[in-house]
Amino acid sequence: MNKSYLNTLLTGAFLCLFTVISAKAQDVVIPVETKDNALVLQVTPDKLLNMVYFGSKLTDKNEYGSIAKMYNFSGTIGSYNNAYTSSGTRNLLEPAIAVTHADGNKSLDLKYVNHTVTKINDDVSLLSIKLKDSVYDFEVTLNYQTYYNEDVTEQWSVITHHEKKDVVLNKYASANLCIKAGGYWLKHYHGDWAQEMQPEEEALNHGIKTIDSKLGTRADLFEPPVFMVSLNKPAGEDEGEVMYGNLEWSGNFRIDFEVDPANNLRLIAGINNFAADYVLKPGVEFTTPKFVYTLSNKGKGEASRNLQSWARNYKIVDGNGPRLTLLNNWESTYFDFNEPKLAGLLKDTKKLGVDMFLLDDGWFGNKYPRNGDHAGLGDWQVNKAKLPNDIAYLVKEAKANDVKFGIWIEPEMVNPKSELYEKHPDWVIKQPQRPELYMRNQLVLDLTNPKVQDFVFGVVDDLFTKNPELAYIKWDCNSIIFNAYSAYEKNQSNFYTDYVFALYKVLDRVRAKYPKVPLMLCSGGGGRVDYGVLKYFTEYWPSDDTEPVERIFIQWENSYFYPALTSSNHVTDWGKQPIKFRVDVAMMGKLGFDIVIGKLKPDELAFCQNAVATYKQFSDEIWHGDQYRLQNPRENDVASIMYVNPAKTSAIMFNYLVSTRYHAGSSAIKLKGLNPDKMYTISELNVFPGRRSTIAEANYSGKFLMTVGVNPDVRDGRASVLIAVKETK
Ligand code: GLA
């Protein structure tokens, strides 16, 4: 079979499944192409599968076969660019997979067998490559699912064996990339409660840098599984080569970045193997989570837009649909509410003009009423003292006020002071012989137990069955896993991994029955957002920190990876900023309120009502438009970001003062993403009642706005300014 024919088959528009016979393995070059990029795999004469390229696409596909001989991938101890590096034989660098066979032997040497390409639709293709050990009946299939127009690839592995007894997987990564560049700069994040998404960027040197989590649930409280790597030099917003990655996994993850002796970047991403040797029965397939990545040679902005379009089109629930604006009662009442108080809040919801009222924590528990965070969690029966007429009354009242009703749950958790704990102590994750350890006075339920899965599904199902008009759920997760031990699992070391599989199993059941209902993924902050779990949710809660200046920074960093419509931004009373600033900051994502509406002065209320109406006018741009970061808050007095609709006829620009220095303020800020040939009318939005805008409404060409820019006149006294950019009629 000639090479060019083979390449055509792999990348061309053929619709059926095709299997390549591996007779002449050395001829097999496997380019995985997307709109601008190619990842190239090549089989060596001794049938090892290597990764030889990741970068801009070549015009002539036949030339992919010439790449390997130009690059140096090896040194004294062999080659370092295996596409899924096994351990215990030839490789002595960090492996992607390590196993203990049924007979106790720890060697593995995976060789190429064959591969198939399936064209799923015009945009999506799946390449599957089968690898097999020559001594043991053990195999791995590597999968590369490409999204051509978005320049995005999802990669995962399926591991199986037919040995006589169980095999232990000591490491089982999703992906093992080998990237060649003249230098690598990693941007990753750290944080803690209310200080999520603190960035750090560093040059990667020889050796291994690892980002990981061992927290069990809410993996990214400390370190999220998102990152970017610039190649050759640190990328800018609109220039430079940069790769973004996210392990689609909501538990312990591990991503190793190894600059090897031949100066390649070996990137290995997967479930964290810490305390997680996985016992795999013969004939069972172990499917790793997906590792999603994109590469751009036009900087961080394009990489974001790639990932965000992919997320909206293929990953998050209802990514191209609408979102509900809301009033939440967490910070306005905490646990202290009753029917009359909530009836008043439902009226306020209508008055404000938002779509929905969201009842937060505190509505359940009778023997141990949920009047604080120390009791009642797990007892999902309506508290009779606070709500004698049940949830049904609130749903009815909401309807009477022409607003929707949503509710908070935290179904994976339990307070020791609860009937659930008393009845089912074996459903709780804890060490049988050690004292219990709590985070926020609570423990995590053992989801690996199918009865617990039924219980958690039942919490959601019961609410919807009894209240079919329930419009929204905020699903919280406020504890990590201490004392990891399951009374159910036979193999304790399967526990961390099985917990997350079990969570996804429950969420699969929820989504099978309630495919579209909006669900917010909350976690006492941005402790649980990744593309594994966003598959089930419409939005996430980035942080409990809603102080608006802090929020600009947190929302900014999340904006690199997640679309704006997934970022639940609530206006609260945190900090000292005026209501206009707080609302303007919340409007750059999915707008919500968590304040006492009755305490707003008349002009403040009028401002909020107008802002909600303005938000609705521009929600299509914010939710589904292309996002352009204009000025980074870490480098400028003024942070600036804009969203443009796909037709380039309408855009909204958000500008925030983030410096308190005396002369801090804006100058002209160049817009992006407009049509240079169109004329646009510029005007200011969200002007506070009684104030006059200093931005005169005027018309400019797209060329002018993108070359010279517009000065939003941000300064002390005008700390946040929103600008509408509309095609001139
Ligand atoms: C977490 C959430 C808050 C609120 C409380 C309720 O902290 O982040 O928004 O829902 O739980 O207990």
Domain end point (choices 270, 285, 315): 315
Helix, strand, coil shares of the chain, percent, nearest 5, are 25, 30, 45
pLDDT score recorded for residue 5 = 37
Average pLDDT, the chain: 95
Residues of the chain with pLDDT under 70: 1-26
What is the reported pLDDT for 527? 84
Beta bridge partners of 669: 710
Tell the residue number behind the tokens 């312990």, with chain if given.
252
Alpha-carbon distance of 461 to 465, in angstroms, equals 6
What pLDDT, in 10s, does the model give residues 540-570? 999 999 999 999 999 999 999 999 999 999 9
**CATH code, domain with 15:** 2.70.98.60
Q: Structural domain of residue 692, as residue ranges?
A: 627-727
Q: Is residue 40 part of a domain?
A: yes
Determine the pLDDT at residue 27.
75
Residue having the nearest C-alpha atom to atom 7 of ligand 1: 524
For 535-589, strand residue ranges (E) read 539-540, 568-571
How do 207-212 and 326-328 pair as beta strands? unpaired
The residue whose CA is least distant from atom 4 of ligand 1 is: 330
Taking only Cα atoms into account, the Rg of the chain, rounded to an integer number of angstroms, comes to 27
Sheet (strand 590-593) strand order: 539-540, 519-521, 472-475, 404-409, 356-359, 326-328, 590-593, 568-571
Q: Whose CA is nearest to atom 11 of ligand 1?
A: 524
Last residue of a domain, one of 298, 315, 332: 315
Residue 565 lies in a domain: no
Q: Which residues pair with 436 in a beta bridge?
A: none
Task: Residue 520: name the closest of 581, 565, 475, 464 by CA.
Answer: 475
Residues 6+ apart with CB under 8 A from 60: none
pLDDT tens digit string along 321-372? 999 999 999 999 999 999 999 999 999 999 999 999 999 999 999 999 999 9
Last residue in a domain, options 315, 341, 359:
315
pLDDT number for residue 524: 85
Pick from 192, 217, 330 the residue to mutate for probing ligand 1's pocket: most ligand atoms within 8 Å of its CB: 330
**Domain for residue 202, yes or no?**
yes
Distance 422 CA to ligand 1 centre (A): 24
Q: Is residue 10 part of a domain?
A: yes
CA distance 203 to 70: 25
The one-character DSSP state at 487 is: S
The DSSP secondary-structure symbol of 440 reads: T
Looking up residue 663, the CATH number of its domain turns out to be 2.60.40.1180
Could you count the other beta carbons within 10 Å of the beta carbon of residue 465? 11
Query: Between β-strands 698-701 and 29-33, what pairing exists: parallel, antiparallel or unpaired?
Result: unpaired
Residue ID of nearest Cα to ligand 1 atom 12: 361
Length in residues, the chain: 729
Q: Is residue 334 a part of any domain in this protein?
A: no
Does some domain include residue 329?
Answer: no
Percent of the chain past pLDDT 90, that is, above it, reads: 95
How far away, in angstroms, is 407 Cα from ligand 1 center? 12
Q: Is 593 helix (H, G, I), strand (E, B) or coil?
A: strand
How far apart CA 136 and CA 467 sit, in angstroms, is: 55
Asked if the structure places residue 375 within a domain, the reply is no
How far is ligand 1, taken at its centre, from the CA of residue 623, in Å?
Answer: 24
Domain tally for the chain? Answer: 2
Name residue 266's beta-bridge partners.
Answer: 178, 258
Q: What is the pLDDT of residue 498?
A: 98
Distance 227 CA to ligand 1 centre (A): 27
Q: What secondary structure does DSSP assign to 664-704, as a single string?
A: -B---B---SS-TTSEEEEEEESPPTT---SS--EEEEHHH
Strands (E), 65-197: 74-75, 78-79, 97-100, 110-119, 124-133, 138-147, 152-161, 167-180, 184-190
Q: Is residue 288 part of a domain?
A: yes
Contacts of 339 (CB under 8 A, 6+ apart): 386, 387, 388, 389, 393, 394
Out of 217, 333, 522, give the residue to mutate to test ligand 1, the one with the largest number of ligand atoms within 8 Å of its CB. 522
pLDDT of residue 22: 46
395 alpha carbon – ligand 1 mean position (Å) = 21
> Ligand 1: distance of its center to the CA of 373 in Å?
10
Residues 6+ apart with CB under 8 A from 601: none
Q: Residues with Cβ within 6 A of ligand 1?
A: 330, 360-361, 373, 408, 476, 478, 522, 524, 541, 544
